[in-house]
Amino acid sequence: GWQASMKSGSLSCILPCNRLPVQLMSQVRVYTSNGQKKDLGSEGTNRSTPEETLHKVGTGQDMTNAGQKQSFLKEPIQVKVKAVLKKREYGPKYTQNNFITGVRAINEFCLKSSDLDQLRKIKRRSPHDDTETFTVYLRSDVEAKSLEVWGSPEALARERKRRKEAEIRYRENLFRNQRLLREYKEFFGNTKPRSSAAAMFFKGPGKVVMVAICINGLNFFFKLLAWVYTGSASMFSEAIHSLADTCNQALLALGISQSARTPDPSHPYGFTNMRYIASLISGVGIFMMGAGLSWYHGIIGLLHPHPIESLLWAYCILAGSLVSEGATLLVAINEIRRSARAKGLSFYQYVVQSRDPSTNVVLLEDAAAVLSVAVAATCMGLTSLTGNPIYDSVGSLGVGTLLGTVSAFLIYTNTEALLGRSIQPEQLQRLTELLESDPVVRAIHDVKATDMGMSKVRFKAEVDFDGRVVTRSYLEKQDIEQLLQEIQQVKTLEELEAFMLKHGENIIDTLGAEVDRLEKDLKQRNPDVRHVDLEIL
């Protein structure tokens, strides 16, 4: 036969097969937490006796077992009573112990800075890199002070509503307010140091863009005069090309100046992507104005050819344009080489990854300008030798195709940058190894490192911290003898709860300090990492 053992609470029984005896416990004792015991076998007649229970169990078995003798075991049951701390229900009143910063207290409870001077001040670990500690207030104190100032919750609600309406009106008149603010600063003087946005155009990418704007503007003027004089389709394409370059580089200058704006609450990560947006629009502009008009004029020349006047002046202007465009191209090449060397990248990698979109646009536009001048000069020379204007129209189509290729490359690279691509695997591996080599980190998961543009990286990871190392780090800063005395003084559950709550909160603060330390190490050893988000797993 088979035996099956089943345990349920404190009752143990052996279920028999057809020919095995039945063994049941004749007495069950239940011990309560106050030390009393109850004998369930001696209770009233309403409860079933073990014999009745046996009869119920054996009703479905063979009748040959009816004459077998039943034996009962009498064994005491030992129950361990565990002292459990009563679960506390945290209601809305408990959130009054939360901390609140001074800025939130002033904005949300309509207080003044002088109202906070009389409140209890608590120093807490600062979440910002530039300060170690900052002052917070108890939310209950701030709420009580606001009621003292405004008299009632209804008056406070009315003041909040009034300020909200004023904020809405301010946003509706944002541009007018900004103009008034500028006039105010001009009249009374700006106490803050002026922005260095103008200085950006005297070095680096800003210098390259300004040089390109000046040269391309002059080229457009002289090429336009040559087209009016000669009527050449290739010269018209060159004039349109220079005009498109000038407009696009003016747009790049706007993007550079906007990218230097300081972050605000609406844009906490800054405006660095404005360079990529300006470069993207510039690529679209090259395609529409440069390639589109060049193709259009070339097709018109093929459908309706007409003789071309003397091309002597056109050749002179093309030669001057070749020199000026070549000079701008050399300035862009030198700037990209210098920047690529500083980042440890090759010239090709720096351009393809669009590390500096503004300089990339100038580089590609000027390279296309030099090649298009060569194409236009060649086609105009063939037209002069053969007298056939078809070659000149073909040159216009060639310039348009060249501009279309450059615009497609600019649109692709800047779109990839705006979508938020990952950093290089080698750089990501260095960041991962730096975290894993720290004793407080047990493992890291879900690592993401996004290139935000302009050599700014945002790093995110879920970190499994070693609780033993964190606790040991906290204990190393404590007086062990005093801590041991506190432990020895713990006699009741209330004292144990107070002891654990006190040191538990301090250990959580230690964990937060470890997170801040890891973030600071990542930023110091990798200057490109500007934003670090470490989530506790």
Domain identity same for 281 and 375: yes
**Inside any domain, residue 529:** yes
* DSSP state letters, 355-395: SSHHHHHHHHHHHHHHHHHHHHHHHHHHHHHH--THHHHHH
Q: HSE on the CB side for 317, CA within 13 Å?
A: 27
Same domain, 445 and 383: no
299 in the same domain as 415: yes
Is 5 within the bounds of a domain? no
pLDDT value of residue 518: 93
Residue 21 lies in a domain: no
Q: How far is CA 348 from CA 100, 116, 354, 369, 490, in A?
A: 51, 58, 10, 20, 69
Tell me, yes or no, whether 286 and 315 share the same domain.
yes
Distance CA 42, CA 182 (A): 94
Model pLDDT, residue 308? 67
Give domain status of residue 62, yes or no: no
Rounded to an integer, what distance in angstroms lies between the CA atom of residue 260 and that of residue 266? 16
Residues in the chain: 537
My answer on whether 390 and 410 are in the same domain is yes
Q: What's the pLDDT at 391?
A: 87
pLDDT at 198: 60
Residue 161 lies inside a defined structural domain of this protein: yes
Listing DSSP states for 450-482 in one string gives: EE-SSS-EEEEEEEEE-HHHHHHHHHTTS-HHH
If we measure between CA atoms, which residue out of 213, 216, 255 comes closest to residue 238?
A: 216
Q: In whole angstroms, what is the distance from residue 62 CA to residue 56 CA? A: 13
Same domain, 231 and 279: yes
pLDDT block averages, 10 residues each, the chain of length 537: 41 42 42 44 42 44 46 56 61 70 86 87 73 80 88 89 84 68 57 52 78 85 82 76 81 85 79 86 82 84 76 78 84 86 82 79 83 85 83 86 88 85 86 91 91 83 92 90 90 89 90 91 88 89
Select from 127, 158, 188 the last residue of a domain.
Answer: 188
**pTM as predicted:** 0.59
Domain span at residue 350 reads 197-419
Q: What pLDDT does residue 43 have?
A: 41
Q: Per the structure block, which two tokens stand in for 479?
A: 């007086």
Q: Last residue of a domain, which of 377, 396, 419?
A: 419
DSSP class per residue in 199-259: GGGGSHHHHHHHHHHHHHHHHHHHHHHHHHHH--HHHHHHHHHHHHHHHHHHHHHHHHHHH
Q: Which residues contact 334 (CB under 8 A, 6 or more apart)?
A: none
Give the C-alpha separation, 238 to 227, whole Å: 9
Residue 397 sits in the same domain as residue 502: no
Report angle CA 324, 327, 333 to the nearest 5 degrees: 145
Inside any domain, residue 458: yes
Q: Is residue 90 part of a domain?
A: no
Element (H, E) at 535: strand 529-536
Question: Residue 514 corresponds to which tokens in the numbers above?
Answer: 């470890």
Measured in degrees and rounded to the nearest 5, phi and psi for residue 273 equal -70, -5
The answer on 230 and 321 residing in a single domain is yes
β-bridge partners, 31: 37
Structure tokens at 223: 């090429």
- Cα dihedral 378, 383, 384, 387, rounded to 10, equals 160
Q: In CATH, what number is assigned to the domain containing residue 483?
A: 3.30.70.1350
| β-strands 23-25, 71-73 pairing | parallel
Give yes or no: residues 466 and 518 share one domain: yes
Instruction: Supply the pLDDT for residue 77.
Output: 66
pLDDT confidence of residue 48: 45
Spatial separation of the C-alpha atoms in residues 287 and 277, rounded to whole Å = 16
Token pair for residue 312?
């002597």
Q: Could you tell me the strand order of the sheet in which 529-536 lies?
A: 441-451, 457-465, 529-536
Looking at the structure, tell me whether residues 231 and 265 fall in a common domain. yes
CATH code assigned at 326: 1.20.1510.10
* Closest listed residue to residue 26, CA positions, set 42, 46, 3, 8: 42
**What angle do the packed helices 153-172 and 174-188 form, to 10 degrees?**
90
Q: How far apart are CA 166 and CA 168, in angstroms?
A: 5
- Tell me, what CATH number does 184's domain have? 3.90.530
In this structure, are 429 and 467 located in the same domain?
Answer: yes
Q: How many CB atoms lie within 10 A of CB 134?
A: 14
Q: At which of 395, 419, 443 does a domain end?
A: 419
Q: How many domains does the chain have?
A: 3
182 and 217 belong to one structural domain: no
No. of H helices and E strands in the chain? 17, 12
Asked if the structure places residue 34 within a domain, the reply is: no
